[in-house]
Chains A and B, each alone.
Chain A
Amino acid sequence: MLRNMGKIVSSGLVMAIAVSALAGCGGGQKAESTTAAPAAESTTAAPAASDSKETEAAGTDSSGGGVEITWWAFPTYAQDGDNPAGTYEQEIIDAFQAKNPDITVKLETIDFTSGPEKITAAIEAGTVCDVLFDAPGRIISYAQNGKLVALDDMFTDDFVKDVDNEALLNSCKSGDSYYMYPISTAAFCMAVSKNALEDAGAMDCINLEGDRTWTTEKFEEMMQKLYDAGYMGATVYCSGQGGDQGIRAFVTNLYDSSVTDNAVTTYTINDEGGVKAMTKIKEWVDAGWMLNGSAYNGGEDVDQFVAGNTAFTTLWSPGLASQRAETLSENGIEAIALPFPSEDGVPAMEYLVNGFCVFDNGDAARAEASKKFIYFMCNDEEWGPKNVVKTSVFPVRQSMGDLYPGDEEMKFYASLTKYYSPYYNTIPGFAEMRTYWFPMLQAVINGDSEPQAALDDFVAKANQSIENAK
């Protein structure tokens, strides 16, 4: 009897536990859905959002109250000398705050490896920043998930006319609204080490005239010579996620494939050219011309290149060139930037667009302050051009003109603009697709699956990711 009593009481307890657990759970979700609602609204109806913004802005006295916003910065800017990450960014902030004393900007530096996951975690936790400086790939996926504030009011007619590049402007859009305010752009390319090439007698394989375009045949010849002279070509880096666009462009260029179709609606990299490229890459790895890079991420590949351990890298850009300039000169290595080799000698370049987005933290005053800050960073007479030059890329606003007069190297990078291929980083499910890309490469170069099968599988999953995101 007593035993039974005990059981009854204890089971009652369990019930209580269960109920309180459920209650806690429900409560949590309810609170969440109320905060989520305005965010969802703002994606579908941008004007409505800006309405509420005005009413709220009236409530919070923007002149005297003071707004604090946070800015999360990837290491995009090259720092001067030995300065730690964020030094230059802080200078921008100081300049901005001097002109806008009512706004305080807090800086948080993040890195490319764990940064993206941190943003995701923070979005879920509601502790995400206000301003993020990134590229469309991630930004548009946040927009598609309704986490951003629409920036349509920043895209004035003058601005749009000044940019005058529909592809680029489209990359800042999700649906009918703009979510990323672009500042600069540049092509991704590759680089070779002049030292290694000269030593291997392979300088005649590359082309330094005009746009420096070259063919896959020449490229193979170069690798052969490098190998014969005892050099390791490059790593086929495929760990983590960073820098995956470099290797994708390398693969598609070799035998005239493309990641997606021209309309950017479906993945096409499993075509004949793509398969041939992957087959070749596997052969090169097996022959010791390139290194199986399953344990290297993009950054580490560049590290190996600037340290002189590898003779070329498939991940290069004017920004990287300026960030790594010091290490290169310390190691006495001269890097030559080149477009990717292709069968017909006409490359199709991928490019990055740098821009800012504003997260919807449910506070119109903060969103407004963030926009002000973004506007300052992009368009201030002094800091606008400076911020572009600091990342060694090109302004999206043509009125800024030539920021690198007389710089031959920058002239080359600028010339790549005419080889731009369709921009697919804003395709729905882009973030998910990226998680399949490196495993596919790893599968092929480790001999787990045949190129055709691996690419077919990748394309199937990638196309599925478009569906999943819809």
Chain B
Amino acid sequence: MKKKTRLLDQLSMLLLLFLSIIFIFPFYWILTGAFKSQKVTVTLPPEWWPMSPTLENFHKLFQNPALQWLFNSVFISGMTLIIVCVTASMAGYVLAKKRFYGDKLLFSIFVFAMALPKQVILVPLMKLVSFMGIHDTSWAIILPLCGWPFGIFLMKQFSENVPTELLEAAKIDGSGEILTFTNIVMPIVKPGLGALAIFTFINTWNDYFMQLVMLNSRTKLTISLGVATLQQEFSTNYGVIMAGAALAAVPIVAVFLLFQNYFTQGITMGAVKG
């Protein structure tokens, strides 16, 4: 009986390793493909490792404003992150800790809107953004994404942890609302804020649709959009496309590997209540 389970264990482990290969392979293929010449990329059987690595792809890549794209992505994701963290923590706090007229209703509207994919309001959003004169700028992505109420929802859950007694004590001490928020609430919800930051950053970074609709100019593109453009321009010149994909992926993957624990904690806390 015991032997059987061990065998089963080993088999599952084997399966797991096999699956791991499938998950790692695309990333590996991007990294190695970036250093293969056009000819090698279409050769079969494939070169598993670039035998004569070339920088030609990167040369072609950097004829495009690729670093600018990377910067744009960082700027957009970073800006969204900051705004969302600030607005959501404030909103989440009052929704969790204060009883006021319209609280329940407001919260249900937020929850409903959360399930709404932002793409369904695409055309009106575009009209709005162009009305404001910010189409084809980073703000055309940042501002609409800040309206998405997921952050509020998340921060409400975290703010529930703030002990009500503490807030009352602060009030008795005569602490103002803003001070209470910054000195008492913020330290308690900090881990939640970290989770929200990670979420927002990754989601914004990967929000290809919004970028596709809102950005035109070559210098305004994000790295995702830039890579998609490369794919359209170079169609089957996979080397160049992989170089772009590598530029898009490596920084985030590096950050992820370095701060892996923060990521996992953030994601876990984001979902599991409290």
Interfacial residues, chain B to chain A (CB-CB below 8 A): 39, 42, 59-60, 63-64, 101-102, 104-106, 123-124, 126-131, 135-136, 212-214, 216-218, 228-229, 232-233, 235-237
User: When chains A and B are docked, how far (Å) is the Cα of A124 from the Cα of B124?
Assistant: 10
> Is chain A's binding surface mostly helix, strand, loop or mixed?
helix
Specify which chain A residues have a CB less than 8 angstroms from the CB of B218 in the assembled complex.
108-109
For this complex, 7 residue pairs linking A to B, each with C-beta atoms less than 8 Å apart, are: A10-B105, A82-B63, A84-B60, A108-B217, A111-B229, A114-B232, A304-B236
0/1 interface trace, chain A 306-342, chain B, CB 8 Å (1 if under) = 0101000000000000000000001100000000000
Known A108-B218, A124-B126; contact A114-B212, beta-carbon cutoff 8 A: yes
0/1 interface trace, chain A 77-115, chain B, CB 8 Å (1 if under) = 000001111000000000000000000000011111110
The closest CB in chain A to the CB of B128 belongs to A28
Given contacts A28-B127, A28-B128, A118-B216, 6 further A-B pairs with CB under 8 A are A13-B105, A111-B229, A303-B235, A303-B237, A330-B39, A331-B39
Contact A28 B126 (CB under 8 A): no
Q: Is A5 an interface residue (CB 8 A)?
A: yes
Contact A125 B126 (CB under 8 A): yes
User: When chains A and B are docked, how far (Å) is the Cα of A40 from the Cα of B193?
Assistant: 51
Specify which chain B residues have a CB less than 8 angstroms from the CB of A297 in the assembled complex.
235
Known A111-B229, A125-B135, A127-B130; contact A9-B101, beta-carbon cutoff 8 A: yes
Residues of A within 8 Å of B, CB-based: how many? 40
Q: Is A450 an interface residue (CB 8 A)?
A: no
User: When chains A and B are docked, how far (Å) is the Cα of A31 from the Cα of B124?
Assistant: 14
Checking B101, B127, B216 against A108 with a beta-carbon cut-off of 8 angstroms, the contacting residue is B216
Contact B236 A307 (CB under 8 A): yes
Checking B60, B101, B130 against A125 with a beta-carbon cut-off of 8 angstroms, the contacting residue is B130
Interfacial residues, chain A to chain B (CB-CB below 8 A): 5-6, 9-11, 13-14, 24-25, 28, 31-32, 75, 82-85, 108-114, 118, 121-122, 124-127, 297, 299-300, 303-304, 307, 309, 330-331
Of all A-B residue pairs in the complex, the 6 with the closest CB atoms, nearest first, are A125-B130, A84-B63, A10-B102, A125-B135, A9-B101, A113-B232
Contact A127 B233 (CB under 8 A): no
Contact A13 B130 (CB under 8 A): no
User: When chains A and B are docked, how far (Å) is the Cα of A1 from the Cα of B12?
Assistant: 62
Specify which chain B residues have a CB less than 8 angstroms from the CB of A126 in the assembled complex.
130, 135
Q: B78 → chain A, closest Cβ, in Å?
A: 24
Known A108-B217, A114-B212, A127-B135; contact A300-B130, beta-carbon cutoff 8 A: no
The closest CB in chain B to the CB of A17 belongs to B109
Q: A10 → chain B, closest Cβ, in Å?
A: 4
Checking A10, A82, A112, A125 against B136 with a beta-carbon cut-off of 8 angstroms, the contacting residue is A125
Specify which chain A residues have a CB less than 8 angstroms from the CB of B214 in the assembled complex.
121
Specify which chain B residues have a CB less than 8 angstroms from the CB of A122 in the assembled complex.
135-136, 216
Known A114-B212, A124-B127, A124-B130; contact A5-B233, beta-carbon cutoff 8 A: no
Checking B64, B102, B213, B216 against A13 with a beta-carbon cut-off of 8 angstroms, the contacting residue is B102
User: When chains A and B are docked, how far (Å) is the Cα of A75 from the Cα of B128?
Assistant: 31
Specify which chain A residues have a CB less than 8 angstroms from the CB of B229 in the assembled complex.
111, 114
